[in-house]
A and B are shown apart, each in its own frame.
Chain A
């Protein structure tokens, strides 16, 4: 699905240059679940942003489904993001004024689906995360775990090929963390998604096929259950 070679990302902060990624080379297979661990400030989110086409690398190439992203224009990249890439965030990032159903629907807006079809897909997505009965609730009327479920439904409603999750359980208590992890695992299995999950939590990372560690902008693979299984 992804092929990164020698990807670097520098941030300019005033006169200082911060090297967030210092030459990351990585292949992520179709339908793979990759967990990324590492301490705060070592480039995990930056890597996810590059994978999610939210940012372009400073040097190096990223190819997605065989296409070099550097060759695509911004409008094309936006389209690709709308169709193929789902995000989940640590702080859920739901639009506070929109109901659960409307938040999920917002992911279908750039796709230009008809309202009736949108509603059907939203209902199905909320059902798949077990929140069909909370469709009309505002985010403020939902628990953290429920909000993250809505966010997962929003990420998946467009049936993306890739799900990028940045510490999705970071704001949740342990029980809820396990619930969400189990839900993500089930969806990953059922939908054949490629899942890249950034987490601090080794208990979560252990469920993934591969675990990578980000350290000072460099990535190394720690654990590979696929190889172990072979």
Chain B
């Protein structure tokens, strides 16, 4: 077809201009793709961190700042010289009546609420008075044990867990002596589905092994809430309430309602958690969304401007050619279509190069970027902070156990999560970028077309004489 022959020839003749135009567009498109990938990567990473810290599906956690309940059952082995103690307690978090769970569940815009009891089992061996002094200090053994409500599998500490083997709790066994073990703990202690484990002197059968997101500070064992309450002597009590709002838009409102309902409780939602996140992750997310977006928009505008100017200039240089075509009876529209075809071809080449640049840029950024870290400041006492899995690990050793345990206390109770950074390029981003490139090319072509319509054929020929 003549259109394509002419198009091809012109592109080849004006190769340098075509390459410059296409490259200009490619840089703009590449930046858009890279920045989109970076910010979506940062968003994903942030989501992962928040999910890890907070639990998928949980919008709000409620904990209380009242005094911790160090109580719990002591299993003292009555041996003549050595005493073994095995207690299960809530050393760092205050407790609430389980009726608070029901009250929260009744609030407007709350779709579900589940209670949890985050406990610590501490096994100590106390030497007898007349025993020879121990050769070395023997630290007490600690296991984090969490009581979960089997009736609310989708909410609470197990919601985000991936079942590695066996099965999770079922609602039909609210009171059974069954336990679910974290994969890392199970591996360290040779547990598998069917194994037996003793918690505070009671025997449990492990029914399943779960894996939690990296950095989530997961509890080591999960048991039904009722059993946790019984073993810790915290009957009818919970220390964390997991709340799911009817929709994401309701989270703020529900947070307020719960605060009014339970004035002494600490109510944390993912927004307030996100605000307390610091570290490279936050900087990256901010950089990608603010500076990156501006950069991409600027580059795109610049490339559109460059393409348009180059096209208009090229039309200016081809006045005689187009004047001749007009003299041959070509309509302005046909000449404009020819120029549009040229810029469109440059746009498509630019889009292809831009997608390659964008993919390369995103891959390079992901390869160069170190693991992003997010640091969450938990409150110093470990109790009024947001509940979730955090206090079970970080804040656990605080002063309630007494004695040598104190030495382990986490002094500043921050929790740092490292997340590998990815910059995923989505098909959607590519489609948007290619559309932008083609739109830019058409804008440039339209600018050229406007210039052509300004030409009088006679004017074009006047330059010849």
Contacts and interface: CB of A to CB of B under 8 A. Distances in A.
A97 B2 contact: no
Given A98-B9, A106-B2, A91 B329 contact: no
Interface residues of B, number: 27
A45 B465 contact: yes
B9, B326, B328, most chain A CB atoms within 10 A: B328
B326 A54 contact: yes
A218 interface: no
Contact of A83 (B12, B323, B329): B329
A112 to B, nearest CB: 11
B164 to A, nearest CB: 67
Of the four ranges (under 10, 10 to 19, 20 to 34, 35 or more), the interface on chain A belongs to 20 to 34
Given A55-B456, A95-B321, A82 B329 contact: yes
Contacts of B464: 89-91, 93, 166
B6, B10, B12, B323, most chain A CB atoms within 10 A: B6
Interface stretch (A73-81, A180-188, A202-210, A220-228): A73-81
A75, A97, A98, A106, most chain B CB atoms within 10 A: A97
Interface in A82-136: 82-83, 85, 87, 89-91, 93, 95-98, 102, 105-107, 109-111, 115
Nearest to A79: B329
What's the dominant secondary structure at chain B's contact region? helix
A22 interface: no
B385 to A, nearest CB: 73
A32 interface: no
B324 A95 contact: yes
A146 B5 CA distance: 22
Contacts of B331: 75, 78, 110
Contacts of B387: none
Nearest to A198: B465
A176 interface: no
B320 interface: yes
Interface of B: 1-2, 5-6, 9-10, 12-13, 320-321, 323-331, 334, 456-458, 461-462, 464-465
Interface of A: 45-46, 49, 52, 54-55, 75, 78-79, 81-83, 85, 87, 89-91, 93, 95-98, 102, 105-107, 109-111, 115, 154, 166-167
By Cβ-Cβ distance, the 3 closest A-B pairs, closest first, are: A82-B329, A97-B9, A55-B458
